[in-house]
Structure 1
């Protein structure tokens, strides 16, 4: 940071922030402004943990961008976070909750290559590879590692549907980006014969719940460009059951105020 001037424009999510180093300090410290509005002060990586320290919030972030996003939070963030906490607690209180993750052939018109389901305690109830009967994009293979030759002997979706439907029937189903996972399952069902489609209609989950927006609000990194809380990746592996367990870990964190 020694090459930085005492004043500069910094772009975060398409919106400029002006950073000004106070004249009364030699430390790597900048006051942040958005036009004429003072956002707060950030300190550079002088902390032992190597993070950006947001002075007014008493928080540390891995990047300057995230530190400035934190300073842009709306005034009602505390209320939003409390709402998320209550939602997470209520969701995890359901003893019949199912957590689901689907690994796919790609992002566009995707088909399932792996399906994982756990209970609310993270116990694996369903952990199956799926023969997608379709091409897998190189980008998807690079992420989850499932090549066509590895899946040729795996069961097809129609073979797995009876057990999967019994696990999900009339239950609440939690996922991260639930709209995507739900669309994959509905697409798989739609290409099956009518009797199977009718059976799924009776046995599908009672309710889908998506943790993606609540997790973004809980983290509280604000995008001025999109006027919303910034998407937060859960991180981790591209294994379905592991992702379910990672989501549950995030849910338990959301139950806490800090």
Structure 2
């Protein structure tokens, strides 16, 4: 045990003397040549072989106290420099520790498939950069003038006539239909197909998405990693020229345009960033210029009006699923071409006349009275 003898020696105050005869100083009041082990290390020194402490320093920290040994820096020796092999081993260990810590908190982005450790809210499925890209591309798609130039469309009760619209579209434009299958609900393309107005396939290709294929998407279209590997499916950049040739200068009819055009736009934007090497505004301009090579038309809205299922809550026609196709891109694109021809001929599936909307005009009057 240390003795309780307290004294003062020289200009530095000795708090007490230990039973081994070594003085105990306050940490901030000690001879300049006496350093702790950490202070020796910061000075590029280390204790000599069996170098004994010459004194102790008393420290206090948040109601805790203790004593740390002090060594004569004049008796210490310089630290040995690490060899290149040792430095490489230390760096390897540091990187391994960082990787382990990263994997412990990382999650996989639904869009790009890359691991990220950024903070994530409960329902988040994509990393920050992918979310920004998706938003910018969506804004770009919404800003495009997608409606083709068509003759004036006859109207009945103030509503569009889908049959006349479809007939005018087929008469005045070179029409093709397009469909995509994706890796997930908001994922990347795994298959793209284009058909002409008669339903003949103009372009068709499987596409490696560069991200995971969800189980739900696989159960719908049946395209998995094994299918893509067997077909040696290219990335979208490998088919972008052939796809562009299939739609260039044509009126592209898509069932649920907002979805499929969003898929195509994101793929083109990724191609612009990763293959062409463009950034930000340039990549968006490249995407917009590519999309403007064709005229894009949504078939779902006119067909939903033709089908006639009225939604009294929204005062609009309820969107309908495509009646033809089997959830493969070529079959669905051919189904869209068939539906467009039948819509122009007036033979497309629809509800009986007594079940079709819109409702009587007095319903609008009642609605306006409470609006």
How high is the TM-score relative to the length of structure 1?
0.64
Which residue, 150, 158, 167 being the options, matches 1:89? Answer: 167
Judge conservation of contact 1:117–1:241 (CA < 8 Å) in 2: yes
**Post-superposition CA distance 1:200-225 (Å, at most 9, x none):** 65443431100101001001110112
Residue 192 of structure 2 aligns to a residue whose secondary structure is strand
Which residue, 287, 290, 300 being the options, matches 1:212? Answer: 300
Judge conservation of contact 1:169–1:203 (CA < 8 Å) in 2: no
5+ residue gaps, structure 1, are 1-75
**Post-superposition CA distance 1:119-141 (Å, at most 9, x none):** 11111011111011111111110
Give the drift of 1:239. Answer: 1.1
Q: Which residue of 2 is the match for residue 170 of structure 1?
A: 249
Structure with bigger helix share is 2
Which residue, 239, 260, 263 being the options, matches 1:184? Answer: 263
Q: Which residue of 1 is the match for residue 54 of structure 2?
A: none
5+ residue gaps, structure 2, are 1-154, 278-282, 348-371
Judge conservation of contact 1:143–1:238 (CA < 8 Å) in 2: yes
Judge conservation of contact 1:130–1:151 (CA < 8 Å) in 2: yes
Which residue, 321, 333, 355 being the options, matches 1:244? Answer: 333
Matched, 1:116 2:193: yes
114-123 or 164-173, which moves further after superposition?
164-173
Q: Structure 1: how far apart are the matches of 2:333 and 2:159? A: 24
CA RMSD of aligned residues (A): 2.2
Q: Structure 2: how far apart are the matches of 1:231 and 1:200? A: 28
After superposition, residues 105-184 of structure 1 pair within 5 angstroms as 105-108=183-186, 110-152=187-229, 153-184=232-263
Residue 345 of structure 2 aligns to a residue whose secondary structure is coil
How high is the TM-score relative to the length of structure 2?
0.45
**Post-superposition CA distance 1:88-129 (Å, at most 9, x none):** 011222452121000001112x21000010111111011111
Structure with bigger strand share is 1
Are the structure 2 counterparts of residues 162 and 87 from structure 1 closer, same or farther at C-alpha, using a change threshold of 3 Å? same
114-123 or 195-204, which moves further after superposition?
195-204
Give the structure with higher Rg (CA).
Answer: 2
